Structure 1
Amino acid sequence: MSTDAPPEATPATPFRRLGLVGTGAMGRGIAQLAAQAGLEVSLHDARTGAVDEARDFIAGVWSRGVAKGRLSEDDLARYRARLHEAAELADLAGCDVVVEAIVENLEAKQDLFARLEAVLGDDAVLATNTSSLSVTTIASACRVPQRVIGFHFFNPVPLMKIVEVIPGLRTSTDVVARIEALGQAMGHFTARATDTPGFLVNHAGRAFGTEALRILGESVADHATIDRILVDQGGFRMGPFTLLDLTGLDVSHAVMESIYHQYYEEARFRPSPLTRSRLAAGLLGRKSGEGFYRYEEGKAVVEDEPPLPAAPPVPVWISPEDPEAVEALSALVAAAGWPLDRGERPAAESLCLLTPLGEDATQVALRQGLEARRCVAVDMLAGLDRRRSLMTTPATEPRYRDAAWALLGHDGTPVSPLHDSNGFVLQRVVACIVNVGAEIAQQGVATPDTLDRAVELGLGYPRGPLAMGDHYGSRRILTILDNLFAASRDPRYRPSPWLRRRATLGLPLATTEST
């Protein structure tokens, strides 16, 4: 992602001078936005030469903005003049807010804030850019914990238009209001969250990767197929394994384990043993040249999908349990020119199409008294407009699998065959995302509107988790989770009370209770 198109300067902030400790990628981005917002910015870094490197880097960003006509020469000169070096921490004495963007280590942050308190006035705000550490715990080492607050940006800071504002348990309301105003002046959506593990965005993002890893671990599909389904059917910007390779397992696995343990082994956040072994093998992703994908010249090597089988038309019987699915699949059969079996029960040699929610093909075939050898399930959660997913029972004969595959792909739409699974791929991942989001709302980590907007901006999901549940139908999501839980008895799939109550009442998932 490029950062050579900075936004225009934003309205005045409640601060005059901002100190920045740590001038790595995050610190540079924060400094850039602060200067554009009109603050005088004092940069400090323990490494000799780091501040000069940061100032040159930021100036380069602004210069590219001038070259593209996005900034004037006057803008460039004005912004550059706002960047100052603070050679010693004592040089930050005149700052009314200091943001730390140093190593993610509790003791280091506590020590830094204790030293800053010795040089700053009591009204100065101490903001931490921590992504995973407790703000309350960081503040506990301070003489004035009321001044400490979380101010968590995402990389690259100028392009990721969101910052989490996390008050500690003792943070004053005035500090919260001033930091929110600062974030807005810097051009970002300020997502206020409580001081809980993962805060808001990292907390909400737990289901996407961990459930995909679980699906992979069950040999339902390979990693490339899972990625294709979630991008094409689910509308996600990238698949979970592409994302894990981009982030790097050395980072992602640590976050998965940290949040899992901080929540005292909450099953919804359970990591996968797959990442531990791959991490040990050095398969980190792009940075190591191989992760879930192998990389050549920076590009992932992805095998072609298997070709559509050549299968003759057969009569097609569609399970009547979901009337909307029957209508859509019947239209597909008609468009392909295949015979439709309209009997109450399938004829002797008909292909039987099933449309389960959270069940596997085996369970539905047995429940409906059908011959498993002729049964193929189709995921109808997202309809048939884009990629289509089918799954077979262990007893499904290859000729019926190939017939269903050929039918679903007759118009050129890609088809992903899966092994039998409760909930396919899309159903499982979406249901888990919605469920974690509902539990965040239940815990009061953030308001429903803030949650959805933060996830859209911070994770790039097509919708926030609550809006996603409404889009697919909260009752359908609840059914998927109930069936997943009934089949596995894994508490990972227990539905959040927030989701169950609103789905049962037919209310939007963002509905809050009046007090």
Structure 2
Amino acid sequence: MSTPAVPGKVAVIGGGRMGSGIAQTFAIAGADVSVAESGADAAATAADRIERSVQRAAERGRLAEDAADLLARLRVLPAVADLPGDVELVVEAVPEQLELKIAVLTGAERVLGPDAVLASNTSSLPIAELSAALREPSRFLGMHFFNPVPASQLVELVAGPDTSEAVLGGARDWVHGLGKTEVLVRDSPGFATSRLGVLLGLEAIRMLEEGVADAESVDTAMQLGYRHPMGPLRSTDLVGLDVRLAIAEHLHATLGERFAPPQLLRDKVERGELGRKTGRGFFDW
């Protein structure tokens, strides 16, 4: 049986931590990848982020080829309009804001060919609402990757109301081509992973807020007691406290009080303690 292949040409919109990780992962699997950013400065920052990540992977012996050869298949562009029209897959990986994602996806649809598959890396926003803005919703689905993307084994696939079976089947094959495993979930608030992960993270924050245990103890309890590879508070730091707060607010509005964000989370976000990306969250990094 032949190994499933990834698309030959892939576009990623958004070169932040998630977008750059997605781009790197497809390039490692052999794709030519274009990353679109919002301006020259953002493009330069994204290019530097990707290059540093690839070099670190090479230093740790995690690449099967020379870093320079891999980087030759990656390019960063300053605008969505600059994307080549012949890409087979585009993955949107911009912040979790509905209006922003709709603007990015509709912009991509205008410049890409009719056969390109469009995917959103959203972790919680409704695929139905995003697809409603598209001219061809049958080619759209959710492809939710996990941080850090190159090391994570999971991709959550979310079919919209109009996603074609052919597009869904192709996405499954691409996930396998990346060496990852997919789970297919129904389009519902928070899907499966964010709904469960955020709920656990919020309860861990409440325990810290109430003085039940310190952050290290809460995380160690889940790692050793339940074999979680990472505790819920370190996981929140890795995701970003601002990102987790935004998802919690969306789930609070759609699913009710059990997702109400703790005041401690709001306070830390207001102070700029956003986790690993700022050097401090529930832990110092």
Q: TM-score range by the shorter chain?
A: 0.7 to 0.9
Report the CA distance between 1:134 and its aligned residue.
1.1
- Cα separation, 1, equivalents of 2:160 and 2:82: 26
Rate the CA distance shift 1:239–1:103 in 2: closer, same or farther, 3 A: closer
SS at match of 1:222: coil
Counterpart position of 1:269: 259
Rate the CA distance shift 1:102–1:206 in 2: closer, same or farther, 3 A: closer
- Cα separation, 1, equivalents of 2:219 and 2:48: 39
Can you list the C-alpha shifts for 1:47-105, whole angstroms capped at 9, x where unaligned?
205445544544444445555555466x5454333224545515421112211112322
Equivalent of 2:201, from 190, 204, 209?
A: 209
Report the CA distance between 1:137 and its aligned residue.
0.6
- Cα separation, 2, equivalents of 1:164 and 1:148: 14
RMSD after superposition: 3.1
1:302-321 maps to which residues of 2 (within 5 A)?
Answer: none
1:436-455 maps to which residues of 2 (within 5 A)?
Answer: none
Counterpart position of 2:74: 83
Pair 1:200-2:189 in alignment: no
1:254-293 maps to which residues of 2 (within 5 A)?
Answer: 254-263=246-255, 265=256, 267-277=257-267, 279-280=269-270
Rate the CA distance shift 1:61–1:197 in 2: closer, same or farther, 3 A: same
Unaligned runs of 5+ in 2: none
- Cα separation, 1, equivalents of 2:60 and 2:272: 41
Counterpart position of 2:97: 105
Report the CA distance between 1:252 and its aligned residue.
2.6
- Cα separation, 2, equivalents of 1:284 and 1:260: 20
Can you list the C-alpha shifts for 1:403-460, whole angstroms capped at 9, x where unaligned?
xxxxxxxxxxxxxxxxxxxxxxxxxxxxxxxxxxxxxxxxxxxxxxxxxxxxxxxxxx
- Cα separation, 2, equivalents of 1:160 and 1:190: 11
Question: Would the aligned equivalents of 1:151 and 1:163 in 2 still touch at CA under 8 Å?
Answer: yes
Equivalent of 2:136, from 127, 137, 144?
A: 144
Can you list the C-alpha shifts for 1:209-241, whole angstroms capped at 9, x where unaligned?
33344555666x233554454444444444444
How many residue pairs get aligned? The number is 281
- Cα separation, 2, equivalents of 1:129 and 1:191: 14
Larger Rg: 1
Report the CA distance between 1:36 and its aligned residue.
2.0
Residue identity over aligned pairs, in percent, reads 38
Question: Would the aligned equivalents of 1:125 and 1:147 in 2 still touch at CA under 8 Å?
Answer: yes
Select the structure with the greater relative contact order (CA < 8 A; seq sep ≥ 6).
2
Rate the CA distance shift 1:247–1:62 in 2: closer, same or farther, 3 A: closer
Equivalent of 2:167, from 170, 175, 189?
A: 175
Counterpart position of 1:159: 151
Report the CA distance between 1:255 and its aligned residue.
2.2
Pair 1:185-2:208 in alignment: no
Report the CA distance between 1:276 and its aligned residue.
3.8
- Cα separation, 2, equivalents of 1:66 and 1:246: 22
Unaligned runs of 5+ in 1: 1-9, 299-515
| TM-score, normalised with respect to structure 1 | 0.48
Letter in 1 for 2:71: R
Letter in 2 for 1:43: V
1:419-438 maps to which residues of 2 (within 5 A)?
Answer: none
Report the CA distance between 1:175 and its aligned residue.
0.7
Can you list the C-alpha shifts for 1:233-277, whole angstroms capped at 9, x where unaligned?
4444444445445555433333222212122x1x54344344345
